[in-house]
């Protein structure tokens, strides 16, 4: 069985240290439901500092991934010298998130074996799912199970990707000879618990992420004839859904989620809008358009390296966001336009290279003969595809909601699949 070669040497019981570090990660995911992103940012930074102090060593391998996430942050500093202090700090807060979390994943890769890490992820996912379900019932009642999109959405939080990861570990670990779950009963209960939580998230993004993970694992675990059959079945269902939803004009109890799913691309389509009602309805697409305009109005140097940490996107109108009216925003939902404004064309090139490197590493594990490497490779491909897709709609690379995906990417690319 494949193991990480170098494991951290610390005084005391290693089991306690690992449990303590994972308990902190669980606490951060729960606190995200209740406290501001700024506090969570500080906690993750302190978490990284705690690990570095305990190890007295900084792990920055693979070096290419470190360069791809760190260098844009460095040139962004020099492009921000004319920014006011408040927006400078605010921009640094967002742009430093992937750097902190990826490097945290690198350090954790020297503390846990792969099986230990996946085992803890499964437990954390179960606890988060259970807590989310209980809080949803407490705040929205059992009606949330009947109509989650209208009754439970955002009553606790927008969701937690660790529940998807826990579900996938329970569903597929046995296919790769991983003895993480002791009985089939625990396996099915884990799948059911996390699936209920994902249902209550009432989020298109989370269903897409789940589908992406299942897609990659199905390639390896499902026979080709069945894979092709179910692939065409899914495409047929999507086409049928489109035909049915197009005949309806509003959101109802029956079609609210399906309606939103089908019209997702319409809502985020980049374009200019002049009607205030349309701006609110298709805000993400309008916001992306204004980001593009902000980018094109920059100098040649700003187009290459971005406007820096403090660069804001002008909306040319006041839009109600999170209980406050904004005419300029420091953050946009489309993470690629966010990078374009803050870090320029070179930033886009770097982030695409970042995803390419992760995908390449994932494929290395995918093609390996070792079952644990295969599982790790598939998991890494799922993380990469999920982050890429979610970055398009919820700026996932710069959001603590997706922190565990980024940390896991650092963990897997840092030690499980990288040749050291």
pLDDT tens profile 59-70:
888 889 999 999
Per residue in 296-350, pLDDT (tens digit) is 999 999 999 999 999 999 888 888 777 777 888 998 989 999 999 999 999 999 9
Whether the bond into 170 is cis, omega within 30 of 0 = no
What gap in Å lies between CA 201 and CA 147, rounded to an integer? 11
In the block, residue with structure tokens 């690992």:
18
pLDDT at 416 over 90: no
Tokens of 39: 């506090």
* Residue 118 belongs to some domain of the structure: yes
* Residue 226 belongs to some domain of the structure: yes
When pLDDT is averaged across residues 73-80 and rounded to a whole number, the result is: 94
Closest of 199, 235, 15 to residue 120, by C-alpha:
15
Top pLDDT among 233 and 103 is at 103
Contacts made by residues 364-371, CB under 8 angstroms, sequence distance 24+: 364/417, 365/412, 365/416, 365/417, 366/220, 370/2, 371/176, 371/177, 371/178
* Residue 277 belongs to some domain of the structure: no
What gap in Å lies between CA 348 and CA 340, rounded to an integer? 6
Under the banding of pLDDT at 50, 70 and 90, the label for residue 25 is very high
pLDDT at 206: 92
Tokens of 16: 């306690």
Handedness of CA 284, 325, 31, 397 (dihedral sign): positive
What gap in Å lies between CA 257 and CA 69, rounded to an integer? 35
pLDDT at 94: 94
* Residue 23 belongs to some domain of the structure: yes
Domain around 87: 14-234+335-416
pLDDT at 146: 82
* Residue 386 belongs to some domain of the structure: yes
* Residue 269 belongs to some domain of the structure: no
What gap in Å lies between CA 420 and CA 416, rounded to an integer? 10
pLDDT at 209 over 90: yes
Cα(first)–Cα(last) distance of the chain, in Å?
Answer: 17
pTM check: above 0.85: yes
Q: What is the total count of domains within the chain?
A: 1
Phi then psi for residue 315, to 5 deg, are -95, -10
* Residue 278 belongs to some domain of the structure: no
Percent of the chain exceeding pLDDT 90 equals 55
């Amino acid at each position: 069985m494949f193991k990480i070669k170098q494991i951290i040497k610390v005084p005391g019981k290693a089991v306690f240290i690992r449990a303590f570090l994972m308990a902190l990660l669980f606490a951060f995911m729960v606190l995200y439901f209740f406290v501001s992103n700024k506090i969570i940012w500080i906690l993750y930074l302190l978490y990284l500092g705690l690990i570095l102090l305990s190890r007295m060593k900084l792990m920055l391998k693979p070096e290419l991934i470190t360069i791809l996430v760190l260098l844009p942050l460095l040139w962004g500093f020099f492009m921000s010298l004319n920014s006011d202090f408040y927006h400078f700090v605010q921009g640094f807060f967002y742009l430093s998130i992937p750097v902190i979390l990826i490097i945290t994943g690198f350090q954790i890769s020297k503390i846990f074996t792969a099986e230990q890490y996946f085992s803890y992820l499964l437990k954390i996912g179960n606890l988060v799912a259970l807590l989310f379900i209980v809080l949803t019932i407490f705040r929205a009642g059992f009606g949330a199970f009947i109509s989650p999109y209208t009754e439970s959405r955002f009553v606790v939080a927008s969701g937690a990707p660790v529940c998807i990861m826990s579900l996938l570990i329970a569903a597929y670990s046995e296919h790769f000879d991983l003895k993480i779950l002791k009985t089939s009963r625990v396996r099915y209960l884990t799948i059911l618990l996390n699936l209920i939580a994902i249902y209550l998230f009432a989020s298109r993004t989370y269903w897409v992420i789940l589908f992406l993970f299942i897609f990659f694992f199905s390639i390896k675990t499902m026979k080709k004839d069945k894979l092709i059959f179910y692939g065409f079945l899914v495409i047929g269902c999507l086409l049928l859904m489109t035909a049915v939803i197009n005949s309806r004009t509003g959101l109802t109890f029956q079609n609210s989620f399906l309606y939103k799913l089908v019209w997702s691309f319409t809502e985020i389509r980049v374009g200019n809008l002049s009607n205030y009602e349309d701006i609110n309805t298709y805000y993400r697409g309008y916001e992306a358009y204004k980001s593009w305009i902000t980018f094109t109005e920059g100098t040649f140097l700003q187009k290459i390296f971005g406007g820096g940490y403090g660069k804001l996107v002008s909306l040319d109108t006041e839009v109600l966001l999170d209980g406050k009216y904004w005419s300029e925003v420091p953050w946009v939902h489309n993470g690629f336009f966010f990078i374009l404004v803050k870090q320029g064309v070179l930033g886009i090139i770097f982030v695409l290279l970042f995803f390419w490197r992760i995908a390449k590493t994932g494929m290395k594990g995918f093609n390996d003969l070792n079952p644990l490497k295969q599982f790790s490779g598939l998991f890494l491909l799922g993380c990469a595809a999920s982050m890429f897709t979610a970055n398009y709609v919820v700026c996932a690379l710069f959001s603590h909601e997706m922190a565990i995906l980024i940390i896991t990417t650092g963990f897997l690319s840092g030690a499980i699949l990288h040749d050291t």
